[in-house]
Amino acid sequence: MNALLGNKATQPLIACLVALYFFYAVVWLCPACEFKRRLLAPVNHLFFYWRLDRSWALFSPTIRTINYHTGVTVTFEDGTKVIWELPRMDRLNMWERLRWDKWRKLDVDSLPWDIFYKDFWPDFARYVGRKYYNPSDKPVSLTLDLWSAEVAPPPSQPIERFPWHSRYAPVFVYRYVPEDFQ
C-alpha cells in the first residue's frame, strides 16, 4: 500500500480524486436546481452507495413555521368512529415522554410527510386496524389526520399553552380489506 501511495504516477490520480470528491461535496450542499441535478447525475449512484448524501440539517434544521400533531380516525362498519390521538409531548410528563419518544418520532417527524414516508402508510393503517379489530364491528377505513397552527411571533411574556391546532388536513385514507386482519 505504501508503495502505491508513494508512487509518483499515482499521486496525481489520488489528488484528482480527492479534489473531485470535494468539488462534488460542495455542489451537493448547494441549493437544488437543474444545473446541480445534471452535474451530480454521473455520481449519484456512488454517493448513495457510500452514503455520502447525508444531510447536515441536524446541526442547522429549518425552523418550523407551524406547530402540528397527527391523529388517526378509524371508521367501523356500523358508522361509529374512534379518534386515536398519537402521543403529544406537550401533554405528557417527563417519564411518559421517555416512554413515548419513538412514537413521537414516527408520528410527528415521519408519518404526515408524503415525500419520504408514504410507502409506510398502508402498513401503519393495517397495524391500527388490527389494534381496533372486533369481529362483530370491523374497521372499514382509516384516515391519517394532520392538525396544525401557525407559529406565533415570540411573545414578550412566557405563555403556558401553545395556540390550539385548529387547521385540519386529511393526509391519507385507507380502506380495509379482509386480508388486513389476518
Instruction: Flag whether 147 is in a domain.
Output: yes
Residue-number span of the structural domain to which 16 is assigned: 2-49
* Co-location of 118 and 30 in the same domain: no
* Co-location of 23 and 100 in the same domain: no
Phi-psi domain of 87 (left: phi exceeds 0; alpha: psi -120 through 50; beta: other): beta
* Co-location of 36 and 75 in the same domain: no
Other C-beta atoms closer than 10 Å to the C-beta of 4 total 10
pTM of the model: 0.60
Instruction: Flag whether 61 is in a domain.
Output: no
The rounded distance, in Å, linking the Cα atoms of 128 and 122 is: 10
SS3 13: helix
Residues pairing with 143 in the sheet: 73, 173
The number of folded domains in the chain is 2
Q: Among candidates 124, 156, 155, 159, which has minimal Cα distance to 142? A: 124
The rounded distance, in Å, linking the Cα atoms of 74 and 173 is: 10
* Co-location of 88 and 147 in the same domain: yes
* Co-location of 23 and 71 in the same domain: no
Measured in whole angstroms, the distance separating CA 5 from the mean position of its chain's CA atoms is 43
* Co-location of 174 and 118 in the same domain: yes
From first to last of its 182 residues, what are the pLDDT tens digits of the chain? 566 666 777 888 888 888 888 888 788 778 888 888 888 888 778 777 776 666 655 566 667 788 888 889 999 999 999 998 877 777 888 888 888 877 777 777 777 776 677 888 899 899 999 999 999 999 999 998 888 888 877 777 777 776 777 888 888 999 999 999 88
The rounded distance, in Å, linking the Cα atoms of 64 and 12 is: 46
* Co-location of 91 and 41 in the same domain: no
* Co-location of 76 and 42 in the same domain: no
